[in-house]
């Protein structure tokens, strides 16, 4: 058989004959999507950790963690998504009941999840405030506690959905094989919770360190970081096996132009450094605050790096099979 | 009824008339192109062959862009054509990402600088804007010239047969590489071509069931049915209707009288 090589002819449509990166959600104004996705994960993680931590007994730091998580979603994620839209004044059309698209569109579902969370999360924060800081009569406290449980469950479910829908929205795209896997939402959620644990540690430090709580948070951080490292490794292995475009994306991530983000910002700073610190502090005596602060900063850098690198290496399959 | 198109890859000679016709029909902004011609050359041990693939929105029966649109701005009509309602579009660009054929365009300021950037829009452009606003901040794509189809059908015309009810690109194709018709009608010109000439869809493995089919050439450049180079060159186009029997067979793979479909 003759050796066959193919050369591209018209460069204006090279994205159709060669695997090309998606740009809509990462370049130029697309950076807003990246940032919104990061705040989605951070907000979800922080709110969930605060919510779970305050279930048995509402503490000051747990309350502040829920406030921070809620604020990251409402004040950062949603406005950034809004700013990205091409026709902002039409945004209400994506919200049920003005659309029935929620049946198939993860974007419409995400809008719904975010709005329900915004409302229920706010009510939960108010109820926890009443329970923690206001002297209520016994009967009023009972009513508020029941309400806080109900609203807390609703808010917890919807913040989880708010965090996970971004992953599903991306993994739905068959055009981008690197994203087109069910592992993506899991990686995003676990990394989000791990980063949320870190931010919650930061809240804990600011509101007056609770050593027992910090060591519990660090314990879970260790577990989630290890799980996520394994998941990311599995994700890359799967990309190599899945499709040539996914393999190309994985190669770009590992040794291409995005490699510095992946290795330095995500693997070394975002995963390895916090993991080493959390293990080291478990055996250390005395003041570990500086190390914790380093770990929190590294975690947050990792959160930005994960979403950036995944969005950046979203590589389309070529339109013409067998070409490029 | 489901409108579809058949593209004869051997006949297409990359004259770009369909691209121009589409631009004129819809007053497309400078950097927006609904119909694209992908041309690339295949070098097989020194024998360079040029292949051309006209692509446009595939009007998929199971369209990812329809599924992902959060506002139902992108929707499918009963006749299978996928259209975008610019008034509902919020410009989230999810459809641009999700379209496996990359046939969606986001109309941004830089894509619509006017035909003479830096100068006031011409009267022609102003009138075009009234007909087709091409709203900035929304996404667009080929719509099979639904306005022509609808207007023609109201007059009792048949799309694919009568020019006034047929997409502009099909009308203008001088090589008759494009055929338009009803995929649901087994006796329609497109159904017969697909059946008789083993029509295939682009990236059928996505399961989107495109309404655009290709015939007479195999994507990926299988040597067995590759069209000769002369069929791909612009200088050859005048001869397509008058080639002798042997050349016709060589180019199209069949005799002239057998299966030629007159549009």
- For B235, phi and psi rounded to 5 degrees? -65, -15
Distances in Å between the alpha carbon of A4 and those of A29, A311, B47?
Answer: 40, 33, 10
Q: Residue A33: inside a domain, yes or no? A: yes
- What is the maximum span of chain A, computed from C-alpha positions, in angstroms? 88
Q: Residue A12: inside a domain, yes or no? A: no
- Who among B90, B203, B219 is closest to A93 (CB)? B90
Q: Residue A317: inside a domain, yes or no? A: no
Q: Residue A321: inside a domain, yes or no? A: no
The pLDDT value recorded for residue B233 is 45
Distance from CA of A103 to the nearest CA of B (A): 8
Q: Structural domain tally of chain A? A: 1
Average pLDDT, chain A: 91
Q: In chain A, which residues have their Cβ closer than 8 Å to the Cβ of B70?
A: 93-94, 99, 101, 105, 107-108, 111
Residues A146, A218: Cα–Cα separation, whole Å? 30
- Please say if the pLDDT value at position A236 is more than 50: yes
**Torsion, Cα of A155, A158, A159, A161 (10° steps):** 160
What domains lie within chain B, and their CATH numbers? 3-259 (3.30.70.20)
- Top-confidence residue, B219 or A313: A313
Q: In chain B, which residues have their Cβ closer than 8 Å to the Cβ of A98?
A: 71
The pLDDT value recorded for residue B247 is 56
The pLDDT value recorded for residue B46 is 60
Q: What is the CATH number of the domain that holds A183?
A: 1.20.1630.10
Rounded to the nearest angstrom, the gap between the alpha carbon of residue A186 and the centroid of all alpha carbons in its chain is: 10
Helix H or strand E encompassing A159: helix A138-171
pLDDT per residue, tens digit, chain B (263 aa), is 999 999 998 888 778 899 999 999 999 998 899 998 887 666 556 666 667 788 999 999 999 999 999 999 999 999 999 999 999 999 999 999 999 999 999 999 888 888 888 888 889 889 899 999 999 999 999 999 999 999 999 999 999 999 999 999 999 999 899 999 999 999 999 999 999 988 999 888 889 999 999 987 655 443 333 444 444 444 333 344 445 566 556 555 666 554 443 43
Residue recorded with tokens 């992908």: B38
Residues A15, B183: Cα–Cα separation, whole Å? 29
- Among A7-16, A149-158, B76-85, B204-213, whose mean pLDDT is lowest? A7-16
Q: Residue A320: inside a domain, yes or no? A: no
Q: Residue A319: inside a domain, yes or no? A: no
- For A224, phi and psi rounded to 5 degrees? -65, -35
Q: Residue A272: inside a domain, yes or no? A: yes
Q: Residue A229: inside a domain, yes or no? A: yes
Distance from CA of A31 to the nearest CA of B (A): 13
Rounded to the nearest angstrom, the gap between the alpha carbon of residue B173 and the centroid of all alpha carbons in its chain is: 11
Residue A118 is part of which domain span? 20-312
Spell out the alpha helix ranges (H) of chain A.
Answer: 14-17, 31-56, 60-71, 78-84, 106-133, 138-171, 183-206, 211-242, 244-255, 259-260, 273-283, 289-312
Does the pTM exceed 0.90?
no
The pLDDT value recorded for residue A228 is 93
């Amino acid at each position: 058989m003759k050796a066959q090589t193919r050369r591209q002819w018209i460069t204006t449509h090279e994205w159709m004959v060669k695997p090309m990166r998606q740009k809509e959600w990462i370049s130029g104004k697309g950076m807003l999507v990246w940032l919104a996705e990061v705040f989605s994960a951070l907000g979800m993680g922080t709110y969930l950790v605060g919510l779970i931590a305050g279930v048995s007994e509402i503490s000051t730091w747990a309350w502040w963690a829920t406030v921070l998580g809620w604020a990251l979603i409402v004040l950062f994620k949603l406005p950034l998504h809004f700013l990205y839209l091409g026709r902002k004044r039409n945004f209400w059309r994506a919200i049920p009941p003005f659309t029935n698209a929620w049946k198939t569109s993860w974007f419409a579902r995400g809008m719904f999840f975010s709005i329900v969370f915004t409302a229920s999360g706010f009510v939960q924060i108010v109820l926890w405030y009443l329970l923690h800081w206001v002297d209520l009569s016994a009967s009023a406290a009972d009513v508020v506690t029941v309400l806080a449980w109900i609203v807390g469950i609703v808010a917890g479910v919807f913040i989880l959905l708010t965090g996970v829908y971004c992953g599903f929205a991306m993994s739905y795209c068959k055009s981008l094989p690197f994203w087109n896997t069910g592992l993506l939402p899991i990686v995003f959620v676990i990394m989000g919770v791990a980063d949320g644990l870190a931010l919650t540690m930061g809240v804990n430090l600011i509101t007056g360190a609770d050593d027992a709580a910090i060591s519990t948070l660090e314990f879970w951080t260790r577990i989630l970081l290890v799980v996520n490292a394994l998941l990311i490794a599995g994700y890359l292995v799967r990309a190599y096996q899945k499709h040539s475009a996914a393999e190309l994306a994985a190669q770009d991530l590992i040794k291409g132009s995005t490699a510095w983000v992946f290795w330095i910002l995500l693997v070394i700073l975002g995963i390895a450094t916090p993991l080493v610190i959390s293990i080291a502090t478990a055996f250390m005596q005395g003041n570990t605050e500086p190390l914790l602060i380093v770990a929190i900063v590294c975690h947050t850098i990792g959160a930005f790096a994960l979403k950036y690198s995944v969005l950046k290496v979203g590589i389309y399959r070529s339109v013409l099979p067998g070409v490029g | 009824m489901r409108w579809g198109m058949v593209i004869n890859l051997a006949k297409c000679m990359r004259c770009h008339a369909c691209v121009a016709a589409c631009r004129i029909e819809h007053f497309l902004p400078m950097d927006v192109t609904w119909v694209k011609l992908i041309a690339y050359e295949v070098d097989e041990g020194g024998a360079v062959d040029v292949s051309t693939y006209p692509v446009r929105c595939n009007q998929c029966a199971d369209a990812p862009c329809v599924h992902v649109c959060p506002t139902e701005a992108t929707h499918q009509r009963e006749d299978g054509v996928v259209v975008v309602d610019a008034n509902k579009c919020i410009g989230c660009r999810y459809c641009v990402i999700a379209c496996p054929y990359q046939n969606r365009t986001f109309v941004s300021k830089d894509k619509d600088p006017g035909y003479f950037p830096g100068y006031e829009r011409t009267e022609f452009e102003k009138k075009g804007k009234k007909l087709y606003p091409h709203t900035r901040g929304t996404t667009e794509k080929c719509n099979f010239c639904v306005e022509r189809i609808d207007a023609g059908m109201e007059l009792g015309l048949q799309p694919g047969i009568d020019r006034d009810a047929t997409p502009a690109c099909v009308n203008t194709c001088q090589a008759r590489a494009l055929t338009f018709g009803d995929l649901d009608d087994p006796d329609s010109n497109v159904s017969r071509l697909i059946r008789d000439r083993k029509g295939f869809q682009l990236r059928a493995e996505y399961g989107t069931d495109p309404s655009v089919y290709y015939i007479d050439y195999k994507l990926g450049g299988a040597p067995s049915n590759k069209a000769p180079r002369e069929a791909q060159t612009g200088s050859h186009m005048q001869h397509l209707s008058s080639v002798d029997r042997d050349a016709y067979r060589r180019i199209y793979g069949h005799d002239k009288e057998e299966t030629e479909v007159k549009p």
